[in-house]
Structure 1
């Protein structure tokens, strides 16, 4: 529901941000449902865990804890944000494009580099490559020096998004047969894979693990396919594989800010973008319904109308 509310007043250490773009993310929907591990949010509240806006005319990216702790989020014309959490963006940054990338691209970047320790010349397999994290990971693996990037995605539309992101090969994740899926990955790869980026878990992760070289790494940052994975002990032990977990919540504000700047710089250079659509803030209710139903064609970004 979109309503008129009194503009917030900043508290100690807070700054008012004029919002230009606020994405509707899966985390927003999960928090609002009351089924996340953060519990049921105190209502009424304005959702939106991140956004792009301006402070004194300067473009900034900002996070909020809306839905995870008391307080309002980014899906408003004006929001109050802790001044220390603001990340100044380069001049000319596209606010909608940066908002579409946001923390999803941060997760892809940090999972590849900080956790996955990507080395130039390595071969990378990205699961869920049609999603925002996956699209960003395909492109960031390439700019990080990967010699070959293989993408796995379920639907035809998702596979097309993975191709558009620049994957060298795209594999259909339309089977629950681990052996069959592992054979597909092996056929698409140029020899053993060095690093798997996995926001899915479940069967896709188990199959991807079978493609890894000795000492290869699989970084898991989600469980959208399943919360458990049929990874067999012999695969794990015989290759001395490393299975690593990743979450954005482990990042310090400084490390998160540095990652946002990398994302913004890559986007400004035309090397990083994900499928998205801009929707007026006044149409937020319908946009939210589409996001919740999985009917969006890309990341939905709400844009307040600031015409005089």
Structure 2
């Protein structure tokens, strides 16, 4: 079958390890089944894999991709939950937690094998390209906002780094839930687009907000950390799900304990949260923002755009029906 694989890691030139071509068909063990991929969305996780972050080099070559929507062998249209873990409780806290493309081949292929419990029915109103955006970026944003952040209608949230997949998802979901949304970016064009999506306030990265917020969604890391802490009301929370600018932010511990701030980690989401996310989209009419849709054969172009940051919303790769 056709697939996009990581053949080696290169921290400085991630595309050097990206290969497009034939790969063995999946052989699902008992309790697993295969899905014919119709659409798969690109995430920063895929680039990190090519850089050698979070993956065992002995796993190469491995099929990349966390997100997919497709069709099972019996004709069921499904969304693939990317978290692979022992069932029971919160899968993201399981000792064997991993996501597709880490220990098991991912979704950038004609077919992907996953546990049957990882399949969620795709609503007919949601296209395959839209559905493929949900399992990583949109599920991460959902968990950050509503599970870990515990935000409620009327609360104020700052989303750092407008334009990224999680940030864009968070803007749309937060507005749908009745939150007051502020965003930051170094790019005025991205700020304007964020306002068009529904952000109430858009300011350049690091600039003081008109008013402090109840929560900050942090996926940028070093570059925005001080600003995130300073933007919070006393007792506020920073929900951290990534660090694209670096993993060693200044601690600013005095501010944390004087203002009794909370710093909470968040990773992916559970299958039940994915089901609730799908229901939220169905109830509100919110749809994922897609920057571009490309055939999977153009995967190298998509990865190049991800590395260069030349996107607003999700990049989706498709396979023919």
If the TM-score is normalised by the length of the shorter chain, which range does it land in?
0.7 to 0.9
Which residue, 135, 138, 142 being the options, matches 1:102?
Answer: 135
Match status 1:20 vs 2:52: no
> What SS does the corresponding residue of 1:121 show, helix, strand or coil?
coil
Deviation string, structure 1 residues 86-138 (Cα, Å, up to 9, x no partner):
11222232111121233111111111111111122211111112211111112
Match status 1:160 vs 2:160: no
Shift of 1:41: 5.0
Shift of 1:5: 4.4
Which residue does 2:110 correspond to in 1? 77
Q: How high is the TM-score relative to the length of structure 1?
A: 0.84
Shift of 1:66: 4.2
Which residue does 1:220 correspond to in 2? 240
Match status 1:40 vs 2:73: no
Which residue does 2:20 correspond to in 1? 2
| Distance verdict in 2 for CA 1:45–1:238, change over 3 Å | closer
Aligned residues: 285
Q: Is the 8 A contact 1:132 1:299 kept in 2?
A: yes
Which residue, 276, 280, 301 being the options, matches 1:266?
Answer: 280
Deviation string, structure 1 residues 146-198 (Cα, Å, up to 9, x no partner):
2x21111222343233223210010111xxxxxxx3xx3332x3xx3111111
Shift of 1:202: 2.2
Q: More helix by proportion, 1 or 2?
A: 1
Match status 1:57 vs 2:71: no
Structure 1 stretches lacking a partner, 5+ long: 174-180
| Distance verdict in 2 for CA 1:167–1:8, change over 3 Å | same
Match status 1:305 vs 2:320: yes
Which residue does 2:261 correspond to in 1? 241
| Distance verdict in 2 for CA 1:207–1:2, change over 3 Å | closer
Write the distance in 2 (CA, Å) between the matches of 1:41 and 1:135. Answer: 34
Q: Is the 8 A contact 1:100 1:276 kept in 2?
A: no
Which residue does 2:165 correspond to in 1? 132
Write the distance in 1 (CA, Å) between the matches of 2:292 and 2:32. Answer: 30
Q: Is the 8 A contact 1:49 1:66 kept in 2?
A: yes
Which residue does 2:121 correspond to in 1? 88
Which residue does 2:183 correspond to in 1? 151
Which residue, 102, 122, 126 being the options, matches 1:68?
Answer: 102
234-243 or 215-224: bigger deviation:
234-243
Shift of 1:31: 1.4
Write the distance in 2 (CA, Å) between the matches of 1:145 and 1:297. Answer: 23
Shift of 1:57: 2.3
